[in-house]
Structure 1
Amino acid sequence: MQDPYSERMSASETRAASGLALVFAFRMLGMFMVLPVLATYGMDLQGATPALIGLAIGAYGLTQALLQIPFGILSDRIGRLPIIYFGLLIFAAGAVLAAMSDSIWGVIAGRILQGAGAISAAVMALLSDLTREQHRTKAMAMIGMSIGLSFAVAMVIGPLVARAFGLSALFWLTAALALLGGVIVATLPRAQRHLQHRESGVASQALGATLRHPDLLRLDISIFALHAILMASFVALPLALVEEAALPKDEHWWVYLTALLVGFLGMVPFIIYGEKKRQMRRVLLGAVGVLLLCELFFWQFGHGLWALVVGMVIFFTAFNLLEASLPSLISKVAPAGGKGTAMGVYSTSQFLGAGLGGILGGWLYQLGGLEVVFAGCAGLGALWLLIVWSMREPPYVTSLRLPLSESALSNPELTSQLLAVSGVSDAIVLAEEGAAYVKVDTQQLDRAALDRLVA
């Protein structure tokens, strides 16, 4: 029998975490593969205009943002698996609709339907059901890495598949990956419990406080702006490679591969510096500033191949740095028991930014060409920098969920006693869950005293 306090993940936990990471990866791969090619190959679709191409790029984000939190709450009521299977089928149906369409409106409809398969919250809740507390951060990190890897692979695979088989092949591949994701879910271990977990699901009671929290709002605006700039830039950058650098669209893959690889390696020292020296605010402000400078560079100097390649390398260094550090900042800033709700609002902001960014990029390109898109992104970057400038240095804390014994639950002074433990900065006791949520500084925590209180 598996030791419930073992420091190693069990075989079933490893299988669950890796399987759900694959489901996430396949889904995001299908979502992102069209990003580097839709602006170029999509212009051959019937009725295509730059504004409609932008809508097609970002359309999935609008329905994803609308349904993300409702589907997560619904999964608490009717179960995780029905929501996940339904979402994957909807996602696959949207991909098939886009693959069979020869008009831009058909592709837009398909992308909107894809976004309606909003299963992220349900997948994270299932992960909580299938893993023990001490391994949940590790399991969530596996999913985070799978999303980052799928984005990088999509940037390279998308142009290669489109060159070999055409734009519709990308959507057929997306549908196949979604169905394969459903098969993987069917092979996962079955949850023995339906865990109400505030660290991985949205709690309606915590929604108001989350929306009123100034630094959480700054981080929500940050992920909104980051993905809006990304989507708007990818209306313009593939076209810039064709128009300004005379690089055929079927050779764009090596540019994205170079930019992503160098950008990924380039962000690592800054993440290490920010966490070890506890300077994440400085890292955040620096990355936003670099992203702003990149857009200004594209606007004024993005007229040759190597200028665009260098600009994209720096752009993806800043993008990868922000994409990796913002969820960590959410976890640090969210109050005890509020991480799941904060992440739900954060994800909604991310998808809303992607949707509106694509629309904005297409509209600006139609209005005045590449320069207007880059100038618009620079303006958004400047506004973003102003908003986050007043953000405080985040607390360097970790979230813990501690199951409580019956005697601990009956202790009316438990919350105040938890807060009195060295290294504990915030705590909330939820009798209905039989658990306490605490925020701790691991460098100062008296773990023995904490364990005595909850045992």
Structure 2
Amino acid sequence: MSEQQGFSPQERRASFTLASIFGMRMLGLFMIMPVFALYGDSLSGFSPLWVGIAIGAYGLTQAILQIPAGWLSDRIGRKPVIYGGLALFAAGSVLAAVSDSVYGVVAGRVLQGSGAIAGAILALAADITREEHRTKAMAIIGVCIGISFAVAMVAGPLLAAHFGLSGVFWATALLALIGIVMVRFLLPDYASKGQIRDVTAAPELFGRLLKDKQLLRLDFGIMLLHLSLTAVFVAFPLSLVDAGLVREQHWWLYFPTLLMSFVLIVPFLILGARRNMNKVLFQASILVMMVALVLMAVAGSQLWLLVVAMVLYFTAFNFMEASLPAFLSMLAPAGGKGTAMGIYSTSQFIGAFVGGVAGGALYQQLGGAGVFLLVALTMVFWFWLSTGMANVSRVRSHILPIGVKIETESARSQLLQRLMALPGVHEALIIPDEGAAYLKVDGNIFELDQAKRLINL
């Protein structure tokens, strides 16, 4: 394959650079989760409620700002927004590192979350890659996010054991500064393509997508998934201590359980894709997560049972984290993926915030078992919600630049009719201002080259 046809060195370097920046930022956000309940007790104002608020606080500002930050990157460019977001993240990390009260740490976490650069990074990845390789670039970013979570579960306890809680925050500040250097020296300046509806949100689509019951199921799903995550990590580290595992050794548990969970989900991801069993495996994962939470609640001082529970929880969590964005991509209408993803990501961050606050409040009133059991009840609701979910198939999205003139409504209508007549095309949308056609197709029978020839007649 020629360089023109394949993933070019420039595209590859830029994709891995952006994925690394995204991953380091998420690493900084996640590292606090397994350690704050254990190492924050020296802070004034410390309580289980404030533990939860500190863990989930970043989600509040992320939820509020991530869509506007994406829009801002359309207007002033991607790199200025990324620079500003990383600077805010570094400032929040420093504030948390030097604080001697839990309130200062919460303020730092809120400031960390205000550096909402996800939309700008994804938009820049779309700017620098050709359409036929965009999915590959987004997959690289997605893999880095998953790796960052796994690394955070090990690196957080290790850093806290050697350098204390402030050391974790200083490390996150350093990661942000490294990210700024990477943007400066590893990413050439690219001309922004403006709004790209596959990665940025279109305001006029919000009303329509918020009424789509299938997409709303996914939005509620990611909200409940991250609600469970932040709530669990208010209580689970303390459960490990009660079971006799000293806090300096917690990474011994997280590392093998995460590794095992990644191995376990691979056959299920393959099975879901090849046998069209996505819905069955999705619902099974909800049940597995519910069982894991119940085991956490009844484990008491039995460390082995907590280990089993965590393997089950991480396996289900990682399967959901990988599957939900794929389902959303399949279900979002042509030209609406960026908007659907914006609503989805906002739901995720709301879940992280609510889970932290609720987990802290519940732990203060009911203890760890109460947290786990009540979060398990949310899984029951999620399972009921999932019964109406469509069993998504092999649907793919494509953006094609239009090489023909469509100056009139009649010309646009004719081109749309021709596109819809192609085998495998489910939806087609032409945006004249962007000079692009958005297609949603059946990947089994759609021929991309045929569509390109039609559009470039």
What is the TM-score with the length of structure 2 in the denominator?
0.96
Aligned partner of 2:58 in structure 1 is 60
Pick from 380, 395, 398 the counterpart of residue 397 of structure 1: 395
Q: CA deviation at 1:196?
A: 2.5
Contact 1:48-1:104 within 8 A present in 2 as well? yes
Secondary structure class of the residue paired with 1:73: helix
Q: CA deviation at 1:303?
A: 3.2
Secondary structure class of the residue paired with 1:426: strand
Partner deviation per Cα, 1:121-142 (whole Å, 9 max, x = no partner): 0111111111111111100111
Separation (CA, whole Å) in 2 of partners of 1:37 and 1:168? 11
Separation (CA, whole Å) in 2 of partners of 1:398 and 1:431? 22
Separation (CA, whole Å) in 2 of partners of 1:10 and 1:269? 31
Q: CA deviation at 1:300?
A: 2.2
Separation (CA, whole Å) in 2 of partners of 1:361 and 1:21? 31
- Aligned pairs (5 A) from 1:21-420: 21-187=19-185, 188-243=187-242, 245-407=243-405, 410-420=411-421
Separation (CA, whole Å) in 1 of partners of 2:329 and 2:87? 31
Q: CA deviation at 1:20?
A: 0.5
After TM superposition, what 4+ stretches of structure 1 lie above 6 angstroms from structure 2?
none
Aligned residue identity for 1:437? Y
Aligned residues: CA RMSD: 1.5
Contact 1:99-1:172 within 8 A present in 2 as well? yes
**Alignment gaps of 5+ in structure 2:** none
Contact 2:412-2:430 within 8 A present in 1 as well? no
Q: CA deviation at 1:82?
A: 1.4
Aligned partner of 1:439 in structure 2 is 440
Separation (CA, whole Å) in 2 of partners of 1:382 and 1:133? 40
In structure 2, relative to structure 1, the CA distance for the partners of 1:275 and 1:105 (3 Å cut) is same
Q: CA deviation at 1:430?
A: 1.0
Secondary structure class of the residue paired with 2:196: coil
Q: CA deviation at 1:116?
A: 0.5
Partner deviation per Cα, 1:95-151 (whole Å, 9 max, x = no partner): 000000111111111001100001100111111111111111100111001110011
Identity %: 50
Separation (CA, whole Å) in 2 of partners of 1:396 and 1:100? 50
Aligned residue identity for 1:238? P
Separation (CA, whole Å) in 2 of partners of 1:177 and 1:312? 28
Separation (CA, whole Å) in 2 of partners of 1:101 and 1:452? 61
Partner deviation per Cα, 1:146-172 (whole Å, 9 max, x = no partner): 110011001001101100110100000
Separation (CA, whole Å) in 1 of partners of 2:194 and 2:10? 17
Secondary structure class of the residue paired with 1:332: helix
Partner deviation per Cα, 1:317-355 (whole Å, 9 max, x = no partner): 000000000000010000001111111111111111111
Separation (CA, whole Å) in 2 of partners of 1:125 and 1:401? 14
Partner deviation per Cα, 1:184-204 (whole Å, 9 max, x = no partner): 111202113424311111111
Contact 2:406-2:432 within 8 A present in 1 as well? no
Q: CA deviation at 1:49?
A: 0.3
Contact 2:77-2:192 within 8 A present in 1 as well? no
Secondary structure class of the residue paired with 2:34: coil
Aligned residue identity for 1:143? I
Separation (CA, whole Å) in 1 of partners of 2:371 and 2:416? 52
Partner deviation per Cα, 1:241-265 (whole Å, 9 max, x = no partner): 011x111011000111111000111
Secondary structure class of the residue paired with 2:413: coil
Partner deviation per Cα, 1:407-443 (whole Å, 9 max, x = no partner): 4673531112211211111111111111110011121
What is the TM-score with the length of structure 1 in the denominator?
0.97
Separation (CA, whole Å) in 2 of partners of 1:52 and 1:452? 59
Separation (CA, whole Å) in 1 of partners of 2:367 and 2:192? 55
Contact 2:54-2:106 within 8 A present in 1 as well? yes
Contact 1:39-1:239 within 8 A present in 2 as well? yes
Contact 1:63-1:115 within 8 A present in 2 as well? yes
Separation (CA, whole Å) in 1 of partners of 2:78 and 2:192? 11
Secondary structure class of the residue paired with 1:399: strand
Aligned residue identity for 1:432? D
